A and B are shown apart, each in its own frame.
Chain A
Amino acid sequence: MSDFPEWTPLADIADFAGERKLVRSIYGIDLLLMLDGADVVVAHNHCTHMGRPLDRGKLMAGQISCPFHGACFDLRTGAARSGPAVAPLHLFPARVDGQTIYADLRNKPVTLWARPT
């Protein structure tokens, strides 16, 4: 836990601008916001396989695939569904209030170093 507030505003729905993925970095945490149908999913933008960013990945119904080595994660649970990853993708609790997307970032994943670009 940290001193972050319970709900941190991340973006507005309009920021997606017709896309389904949106990148944010807040409190030094790399975030990937995704539209999965009507749901907004907020994930750590680090693949648990090799720590690569997921934002160029392929977003399909209920899952995202890493563009680098093909690790695939469940967007509901974060579980690694196929590919080389074993550990689950870190998902943050999220909600939409009006047009604003909030997430609870207090339980942030441990990262040892800045993600490679």
Chain B
Amino acid sequence: MAGEFGDIVRGFSSKASPLVTGLLEADSRAVPAGLKQQGNYLPPSRQIPLSRYYDPAFAELEKEKLWKKTWQYACREEDIPEVGDRYKYDVGTLSWFIVRSGPGEIRAFNNSCLHRGTQLCSSNGWSESIRCPFHAWEWKLDGSLKNIPSRWDFPQVKTEEFKLPEARVATWGGFVFINPDPDAAPLENYLGVMPDHFKSWEPENRFTAFHIRKRVRANWKITMEAFLESYHVVETHTESLGFTGDASTQYDIWEQGDAHISRLITPLATPSPHLGDGASIAEAANYAFQAFALAMPGVPVPSFDVDSKLSGRAQVAEWRRQMMGAGLARDFSSWPDVTMIDSVEYHMFPNFCPWYGEGLPLVYQFLPYGDDPNQSVMSVRLTAPLPGGGAPRPPSAPIREIGFDELFNSAPEIGLLAVIFDQDMSNLPRIQSGLRAASDTRAVATFGRYQEQRILHFHEVLEKTLGL
């Protein structure tokens, strides 16, 4: 089929597995306008030099012109619920710490003592002030200088000039963002369509149920790009083809001034179009029942009801509404099928991927690790709706660190997702190694026009940001 962007084919469907637009029209509930909205931009086709994934000079350029100049998601508000709580945020060798400096007030400071440069915050936690472990130079939580031991020995230090340097802080949807650039436009300009699209889902009324930080032997862009398309599902996640609309995934990009937002919608409980027109819709529903049941141990697992008036997708969604409603004492009866079961991932430049809906309620963050451009760290959170019935807000889950050579499978709390993540992780070091072994005549990446458009878009914005 031809889409509105010239001759670009916008996804591949089968008789058994329609495109997302068709599935949204068939949803058993009203679908929010944001999910039906389509993008306004398609980047031109081009190749990307592979050197930008390992060249230290390119990483240095990113450090100076990207990470020091952009709005970036650092943590969630529930990570620092009480005054004095702090969250350490590292971007390669750059480091800030985010502090709940007062009721309703959050600040971000460079993680470096103004005396001789010692790191002020070594990990997440709490303290009543900001105090250097070397000589006890001390600041109040608002960053103003509190005390210098042997004050008589520092006549040149003017208290008002020794406030801790701050990055700008802003929040949206429970997410905390920082921007070290004092001249940057406000965060709102960068969020684009997201506040409108996420309004119906209320990301602020969720809590972190698990939080994993995985170190990866691949550049942060390589790691991130593996999660910006569903094109890899057919080879990397073969077992999920029976219930995943990989090739029928819809991709959208919104370019609006400073806002660079993209999205994918991968439908579940529908067979892959790769399985052909005769693929079983009943099996797709049954696979989906089983996959979601793995996240809800102990619940009875239904199977596709051939006599039901509901589609397989609607049956899975209705079961999810009932199970989640009972488990959380909340009413999900008006939530559409797409919100209950599909994988809807947004991307905000440069590295923030909040997912929409209960299908995969994840938050991804991709960051450089240390000073080696061949390494990165991927943060994965799963957020859950706040329980109803007046129950208190559950605490944010502690971070589980997973090393370079450890598997996601070492984190039992994430269940089936561990298998999927480990499949992705097995590719990443091989990509990083392979791209460095490319022939000088072919040291470029080539992208699919539709399914990999989000990666092309990211590079287009990155180059503009870096002044290339």
* A residues neighboring B (CB under 8 Å): 49-50, 56, 58, 61, 65-72, 82-84
Centre residue among A65, A69, A84 by max chain B CB count within 10 A = A69
* Listed A/B pairs (13) with beta-carbon separation below 8 Å: A56-B128, A65-B126, A67-B127, A68-B127, A68-B128, A69-B127, A69-B133, A70-B86, A70-B121, A70-B123, A70-B125, A70-B126, A84-B123
**Known contacts A49-B133, A58-B84; A82 and B128 CB within 8 A of each other:** no
Contact of B260 with A by CB under 8 A = no
- Output the least CB separation between B396 and chain A (Å): 12
Binding site for A on B (CB under 8 A): 82, 84, 86, 121-129, 131, 133, 395
Q: How many angstroms from the CA of A82 to the CA of B131 in the assembled complex?
A: 16
Distance between Cα atoms of A70 and B141 in the complex (Å): 13
Main secondary structure of the interface of A (DSSP, over half): loop
Most buried by A among B84, B128, B129: B128
Q: How many angstroms between the C-alpha atoms of A56 and B82 in the bound complex?
A: 15
Tell me how far the C-beta of A32 lies from the nearest C-beta in chain B, rounded to whole angstroms. 16
Q: Known contacts A58-B84, A82-B123: does B133 contact A50 (CB below 8 Å)?
A: yes
Give the docked Cα–Cα distance between A68 and B395 (Å): 23
Whether the Cβ atoms of B127 and A84 lie closer than 8 Å is no
> Cβ of B126: which chain A residues have Cβ within 8 Å of it?
58, 65, 70, 72
Min CB distance A63 to B, Å, is: 9
For the complex, would chain B's binding face be called helix, strand, loop or mixed by DSSP majority? loop
Measured CB to CB, the closest approach of chain A to B212, in angstroms, equals 16
**Distance of A65 Cα from B80 Cα, bound (Å):** 14
Contacts of B124 in A (CB 8 A): 82
User: Is there contact, CB below 8 Å, between B131 and A69?
Assistant: yes
In the complex formed, the residue of B with least CB distance to A80 is: B123
B95 to chain A, nearest CB (A): 14
Between B82, B122, B124, B127, the greatest number of chain A beta carbons within 10 A of the residue's beta carbon is seen for: B127
Cα distance A82–B128 in the bound complex, in angstroms: 16
A37: min CB distance to chain B, Å: 14
Residues in A with CB closer than 8 Å to B129 are: 67
* Contact partner, A83, options B84, B122, B128, Cβ 8 Å: B122
Q: A70-B86, A71-B125 are in contact. List 11 more A-B contacts (CB 8 A).
A: A50-B133, A56-B128, A65-B125, A65-B126, A67-B128, A67-B129, A70-B125, A70-B126, A82-B123, A82-B124, A84-B133
Cβ contact within 8 Å between A84 and B128: no
Contacts of A72 in B (CB 8 A): 123, 125-126
B-side contacts of A65, CB under 8 Å: 125-127
Inside 8 A of A70's CB, which chain B residues have their CB?
86, 121-123, 125-127
Q: Which residue of B lies closest to A85 (CB)?
A: B122
| 3 closest residue pairs by CB, A with B | A70-B125, A82-B123, A70-B127
